[in-house]
Amino acid sequence: MTGRDKNLKQVYDATLAMISRLHFKQASLSQEEMYFLLSLLDRIMQGKVEDEFISCLRRWQTGNWNADINDIIKASLLPLDLNDPAAVKETCLLISDLLNYKNDGENG
C-alpha cells in the first residue's frame, strides 16, 4: 500500500468514524442522513462521483441559505440513488436552481 493509499484509508476511516459517532452517540444525524453520507463517502472513495455534483454540494454547504432551502435540498438528497447518474444530475440541477433562485431573490 502506497503512502497516498494509506492517507486515503486514514481519511476514509476517520470520516466513517465521525459519521457513525454523530449518528449513534450524539444523535445528530438521522438514519437516513447517515446512510446518505456513508453512500456518498463510498462513491467518492471509488471515484464515482461527478465533480459537478461535489461542486453543487460544496456551494450549498458554504452558503448561508434559509431553513426552507436547506430542508428542500436535504429532502431531495436523502432518497437519492447515487448509482443513478440521471437522478444525480437532476438533483444537482434542482439544487443549483434553488440556490440561484435564492440569490436572484436577494439581489432583485
Q: What share of the chain is helix, strand, coil (3-state, %, to 5)?
A: 75, 0, 25
Report yes or no: 12 and 45 within 8 Å, Cβ to Cβ: yes
Q: Is the pLDDT of residue 105 over 90?
A: no
Res. 106 pLDDT band, cuts 50 70 90: low
Digit-coded pLDDT (tens) for 4-45: 788 889 999 999 999 999 999 988 999 999 999 999 999 999
Rounded Cα gap, residues 69 and 75, in angstroms: 10
**What is the mean pLDDT of the segment spanning 87-108?**
82
pLDDT of residue 4: 79
Q: Where are the domains of the chain?
A: 1-48, 49-108
pTM: 0.83
Digit-coded pLDDT (tens) for 51-97: 999 999 999 999 999 999 999 999 999 999 999 999 999 999 999 99
Report yes or no: 41 and 48 within 8 Å, Cβ to Cβ: no
